Amino acid sequence: MSPICKIEREMLEIVQDEMVMKDRIAALLAQGPRTIPEIAEALHHSSYEVTIWLFAMRRYGDVEEIGRADVDGYFKYELKEKPANDAAVGSEER
Amino acid sequence: MPTLDSKPLDYDVMIVGAGVAGMESAASLGDMGYKVALVEKNSSIGGRSILLSKVFPTLDCASCIVTPKMAAAAHHPQIDPMVYTEVDSIVRNGDGTFTVDLHKKASYVDFDACTGCAQCEIACTVAVPDQYNYDLVARRVAHIPFPQAVPKKAVIERHGQAPCTHTCPAGVKPSGFVSLVRAGRHEQAFHMHLADAPMVGSLSRACYAPCEGECTRGDKEGTVHIRAIKRYMVDRYYADHAVPEYGPVENQLATRVAVVGSGPGGLTAAFHLAKAGHQVTVFEAESHAGGMLRHGMPRYRMPKEILDRDILNITALGVEIQTGTPVNRIAELKAQGFDAVYIGVGNQKPRIIPIEGRELPGTEIQDCMRFLRETNVGDELPDIKGKHMVVLGGGNVALDVARTAVRMEAASVSILCLEPREKMPAHGWEVEEADEEGVRICAGGATKRLYRDAEGQAQLEYLKVGTIEFTEEGKLKSFKATPGTEQSLPADIVVLAVGLGPSTDAFRDELGLTPGGIITVDDQTLQTSDPVVFAGGDAVLGPSIIVEAMGQGRRAAFYMDRMLRGEAMDVSFGDTLEMTDKQTVLDTSKSWRPVAPVALPVRPPKERVQSFECYEQTMTEAEARHEANRCLNCGECSQCQECVRVCPAFCIDFDMKPKAMQLQVGSVILSTGYEILDPARKVPLGYGTIPDVISGPQMDRLLAPTRPYNGVLRPSDGKEPENIAIVLCNGSRDHTVCNPLCCRIGCMYSVKHAQLVMGALPLADVTIYYIDIRAFGKGYDEFYEQSKGMGVNYVKGKVARVEQLENGNMALSYEDMEGARGLKKREHDLVVLTVGFLPNTEPFKLYKGGTLDADDFDYVRELDPVSEPCCTNVAGLFAAGALVGVRDIPDTVLHAGAAAAQVATYLESARAN
Ligand SMILES: Cc1cc2nc3c(=O)[nH]c(=O)nc-3n(C[C@H](O)[C@H](O)[C@H](O)COP(=O)(O)OP(=O)(O)OC[C@H]3O[C@@H](n4cnc5c(N)ncnc54)[C@H](O)[C@@H]3O)c2cc1C
Ligand code: SF4
Ligand code: SF4
Ligand code: SF4
């Protein structure tokens, strides 16, 4: 994939896809930690858009970074231990 | 100065805008003993400063500086913080006081109960850009603005009700279950649908989906396939749950309700009444429950096992259904001890028209309901193999009969109707599908007679319709057949599907009926002429659609419950928000990538006429989620109810309304701050097209402890940048964007960014491109020199263009104003544009009592910054902070203190007079 990454869609349009993309990202990370460019390549999506989805997942507790950035400056992200999916965040669980 | 005591005052002073300026003035005035209303349009006080990382030149943490001010303002006994509140108008009264109209926006969260636990936000299914992180990351529609919010309460953003949801007659919320399916939560999707309407499977098969007719995406590439999404959701749910997961409700009441008729309307009424705790018995004349869903709708579009499973949703609540039990007198039900009755007997009485030659031996004339009933509930199908059938009528029932007959190996099936094809009452797509299946459509023909031809074949002769007239509602008014245009169709069986009438004959003596047999009811409550008897569905509406009948069943249940509890009946039902303005949604999504609807899997016509198998198939999960993701989130909040489900404090209230207030105050301080220039206006600098060109406010967020990423990373791929450019004066001191002013703080906050980045990324190179550095305050020049000492590069040069390079980095073209001079280029992997600020012009609209003067740059004009700081041209109306000109936090605090002093002077001199 070319390193050139442009903003091709409006933020609102990109964030809307998160609800679908987050499960695809989670499925990929279930196989092992990955950097953002690795996720982008595997899912055939722009790494800019993956950044937006991934950091929303991080914000809501689905993923976390591991340790420090690698020599190229990239962090690896892994799934965070929590109930199977956030659909399980029900009042009974707490 | 007029006396302030002439009118009782609610507050001595109202402060509009609770940023640093507003909070500071409020605290000063509160300490002096004045009663202060502190109004903030956001859901937290704190303004822009609370979002900052650290502050120059001390590098104190912004939270440490601002949070105590927030706490002081929030908990001061003299200050009433009014968040999520907007001022509508400020008018100065003759006595020097002010009348302020304002409204508290509906937050849909009970602030008193909300604990700020954020469970609603985590569960919410709609993602939107987070303005508090300057769009670097997404938040949810239900959200707490930021971690240090005061008060720390959730709010829900709703922009009207989505058109699909607004349209559904049964009160189902398609926007909600579509949103849940998109998020992969089909179980919750099912449950939220069930809460509104229990016949989920039946609707997924046979609803004519008025929601899809209104869907905003329909104005783009095609409507969201809402019904197909529902079908996916219900099929998955029923596959996993053969029986409902619940039983009767705990709080059972002694009241008994009879429901007459087990169609969708009756069953829906029974469901909601049983949920409210009443003892419900359903009486059904036929041998099986389900009404038209059972007897009228062919299996190929309404599979009976789905209907059976739907009915379990109702009986699981303890509802008893007595089939084969016609009710002929309401009085008998009352005598049996029923306290209330719902009549949902439908509209199943066939209209019979005389046909000349109807006695023709060997020809059979049937009514449509008998034909459909026999094909739907008997163990054996009637034998019509090899026979020629003509169906009279052009509505949906005629289509159902004809399409059933082609599946029973009839020799031929024809439809004869008066209307031309494009005016047939049936849906166009249904006519198309019948056509594909081999039904012959003879539109625009009037029956003449039955006769037997020379070969002995029975024929139905008809004439072409010459003229035909319709009422304004599209109903047939009159027609004229043209003599001499006779044609014939082979007709061993003729089925009459020319209209159905209400099945209400039994109640003629007990209830008010129209001459046509329709039950007359109160439009609001659906109460009949007998106050304990309610009615709905086709018996009230005439031939309608299942979801209308369900809507009436639900409405009636609501009022029956109130009547049985002895509660007032003059309350409204289903009071909803206004429908979202579709055009606004279309404008917002104008540039979005087109996404074609998922092609619905349908069996080919040749295959589908071989059996009564459903001809539509269910989407896969991936297809359903893709299709659901075409939804445009018209109302922002999708009404998916996840927040309601998870909130441990039960504080979500979708019935909340904005609350208007009028307050009398002694004086007003405006402290509504400033606006940030959109850096995309400087097109050559690449903001908005190159992901790694970010703005100064975004950089502050990346450096803040509550940052959106796990560090200072580039947005394009999450890499730690190594070579960062900070470009000063974008859109300030800049006539190309009509902003000649120096922003006053850009230089210093950029020096702050440079220092903080060097702390966060010790190996990174940081270069600041500047025209000149304005470090005028105490300690500012030292701060600047300190950055140089840390290794920040300073390049005196105006950046003209930023371009993306093949390797993903950016080339900055700038005019070197020092050293070698001339045009130069340098490569960086992150570019920060220090943006200019703009005046906030909102206060000019708020002051309705005359004109509030602006200065030459459109900031609120201070009468004289030296001798009369904070005073506007309106006596008693003051301005504090960045509203009169952008300034840093120390200067804002000073200015706010001055405003407080001015207010005190004004109030005291008024009192003295
Ligand atoms: C990137 C960046 C970095 C900065 N760094 C620093 C720094 O390090 N040090 C420093 O001293 N300064 C810094 N500043 C400047 C600082 O943010 C301002 O000095 C300060 O926010 C001004 O306070 P204010 O109360 O006048 O306005 P604001 O903080 O803008 O507050 C105005 C408030 O009014 C509310 N409001 C607006 N309209 C209405 C209405 N009609 N009704 C009710 N409420 C309304 C707003 O929602 C807001 O809460 C920085 C600014 C930026 C953009
Ligand atoms: S879940 Fe309820 S209590 Fe918790 S933040 Fe949301 S509204 Fe408040
Ligand atoms: S109803 Fe759904 S979309 Fe709306 S705020 Fe609650 S969780 Fe979010
Ligand atoms: S786009 Fe979505 S929310 Fe809007 S009408 Fe269609 S389904 Fe409903």
Amino acid at A37: P
Q: If contacts are CB pairs under 8 Å, which of residues 13-32 in chain A contact chain B?
A: 13, 15-20, 23
Please report the DSSP string for B441-496 in residue order: EEESEEEEEEEE-TTS-EEEEEEEEEEEEE-TTS-EEEEEEPTT--EEEE-SEEEE
Q: Where are the domains of chain A?
A: 3-92
Among candidates B257, B301, B307, which has minimal Cα distance to B282?
B257
pLDDT at B864 over 70: yes
Amino acid at B732: S
> Residue B842: which pLDDT band, with cuts at 50, 70 and 90?
very high
| CA B238 to ligand 3 centroid distance, Å | 25
- What residues in A contact B647, CB-CB < 8 Å? 91
What pLDDT, on the 0 to 100 scale, is given for residue A85? 44
The residues, any chain, with a CB within 8 Å of residue B198's CB and separated by 6 or more, are B267, B268, B271, B310, B313, B314
What pLDDT, on the 0 to 100 scale, is given for residue B722? 97
Given CB atoms, is A87 within the 8 Å cutoff of chain B? yes
- What residues in A contact B128, CB-CB < 8 Å? 12, 15
Tell me the whole-structure pTM to 2 decimals: 0.91
Give me B636's structure tokens: 């922002």
CB atoms within 10 A of CB B613: 13
Q: What is the pLDDT averaged over residues B696-704?
A: 97
What pLDDT, on the 0 to 100 scale, is given for residue B737? 81
Question: pLDDT tens, B627-685?
Answer: 999 999 999 999 999 999 999 999 999 999 999 999 999 999 999 999 999 999 999 99
| CA B652 to ligand 2 centroid distance, Å | 8
CA B670 to CA B846: how far, in whole Å?
10
User: Is there a contact between B716 and A48 if contact means CB atoms under 8 Å apart?
Assistant: yes
The mean pLDDT value of chain B amounts to 94
User: Is there a contact between A73 and B719 if contact means CB atoms under 8 Å apart?
Assistant: yes
What pLDDT, on the 0 to 100 scale, is given for residue A28? 98
Q: Angle at CA B35, nearest 5°, toward B30 and B40? A: 85
Among candidates B269, B258, B295, B310, which has minimal Cα distance to B170?
B269
Distance between start and end Cα atoms, chain B: 7
CA B325 to CA B321: how far, in whole Å?
9
Q: What is the pLDDT averaged over residues B396-414?
A: 94
* Residue that the structure tokens 């209104």 belong to: B214
Angle between the A47-59 and A36-43 helix axes, to the nearest 10 degrees?
A: 120
CA B159 to CA B126: how far, in whole Å?
13
Number of residues assigned to chain A: 94
Residue B509, classed as helix, strand or coil, is coil
B674 contacts B20 by C-beta, under 8 angstroms: no
| Chain centroid offset of residue B453 CA | 62
- What atom of ligand 3 comes closest to residue B638's alpha carbon? 3
B525 contacts B561 by C-beta, under 8 angstroms: no
User: Is there a contact between A15 and B592 if contact means CB atoms under 8 Å apart?
Assistant: no
Amino acid at B508: R
What pLDDT, on the 0 to 100 scale, is given for residue B378? 75
Amino acid at B113: A
CA B200 to CA B231: how far, in whole Å?
8
B49 contacts B20 by C-beta, under 8 angstroms: yes
Q: Does B315 contact ligand 3 (Cβ within 6 A)?
A: no
User: Is there a contact between B121 and A60 if contact means CB atoms under 8 Å apart?
Assistant: yes
Among candidates B441, B429, B439, which has minimal Cα distance to B602?
B429
Which of B717, B757, B804 to probe by mutation at the A interface, max A CB count within 10 Å?
Answer: B717
Give me A6's structure tokens: 């442009």
CA B528 to CA A49: how far, in whole Å?
58
CA B872 to CA B884: how far, in whole Å?
10
The residues, any chain, with a CB within 8 Å of residue B383's CB and separated by 6 or more, are none
What is the fold of A3-92?
Arc Repressor Mutant, subunit A (1.10.10)
B633 contacts A13 by C-beta, under 8 angstroms: no
Residues B320-358 as b or e (16 or more Cβ within 10 Å = b):
ebeeeeebeebeebbeeebbbbbbbbbbbbbeeeebeee
B141 contacts B635 by C-beta, under 8 angstroms: no
Could you give the dihedral angle defined by the CA atoms of residues B288, B292, B295 and B298, in that order, rounded to the nearest 10 degrees?
Answer: -130
Q: What is the pLDDT averaged over residues B290-308?
A: 93
Of the candidates B185, B626, B715, which has its C-beta nearest A48's C-beta? B715
pLDDT at B624 over 50: yes
What pLDDT, on the 0 to 100 scale, is given for residue B714? 97
Could you give the dihedral angle defined by the CA atoms of residues B528, B529, B532 and B534, in that order, rounded to the nearest 10 degrees?
Answer: -10
CA atoms within 13 A on the CB side of B201: 23
Q: Which ligand is nearest to the CA of B84?
A: 1
The residues, any chain, with a CB within 8 Å of residue B679's CB and separated by 6 or more, are B685, B687, B688, B693, B695, B730, B731, B833, B835
CA-nearest residue for atom 5, ligand 1, is B749
Question: pLDDT tens, B605-614?
Answer: 999 899 888 8
DSSP for residue B11: E
B264 contacts B204 by C-beta, under 8 angstroms: no
CB atoms within 10 A of CB B89: 14
pLDDT at B393 over 90: yes
Residue B508, classed as helix, strand or coil, is coil
B359 contacts B320 by C-beta, under 8 angstroms: no
User: Is there a contact between B720 and A10 if contact means CB atoms under 8 Å apart?
Assistant: no
> Residue B742: which pLDDT band, with cuts at 50, 70 and 90?
confident
> Residue A90: which pLDDT band, with cuts at 50, 70 and 90?
very low
Q: Does B162 contact ligand 4 (Cβ within 6 A)?
A: yes
CA-nearest residue for atom 7, ligand 3, is B124
Q: What is the pLDDT averaged over residues B41-65?
A: 95
CB atoms within 10 A of CB B455: 7
Amino acid at B285: A
What pLDDT, on the 0 to 100 scale, is given for residue B325? 97
- What atom of ligand 1 comes closest to residue B47's alpha carbon? 49
Question: pLDDT tens, A18-74?
Answer: 999 999 999 999 999 999 999 999 999 999 999 999 999 999 999 999 999 999 999
What pLDDT, on the 0 to 100 scale, is given for residue B7? 65
What pLDDT, on the 0 to 100 scale, is given for residue A3? 65
| CA B71 to ligand 1 centroid distance, Å | 17
Amino acid at B588: T
- What residues in A contact B126, CB-CB < 8 Å? 19
Identify the burial level of B94 via C-beta atoms within 10 angstroms of its C-beta, where 0-12 means exposed, 13-18 middle and 19 or more buried. Answer: exposed
Is the Cα dihedral B382, B385, B388, B394 positive or negative? positive
CA A33 to CA A56: how far, in whole Å?
17
Cα–Cα distances (Å) from B911 to B97, B901, B907, B908, in that order, read: 11, 15, 6, 5
Of the candidates A5, A17, A69, which has its C-beta nearest B720's C-beta? A69
- What residues in B contact A63, CB-CB < 8 Å? none
Q: Does B21 contact ligand 1 (Cβ within 6 A)?
A: yes
Of the candidates A9, A15, A20, which has its C-beta nearest B625's C-beta? A20
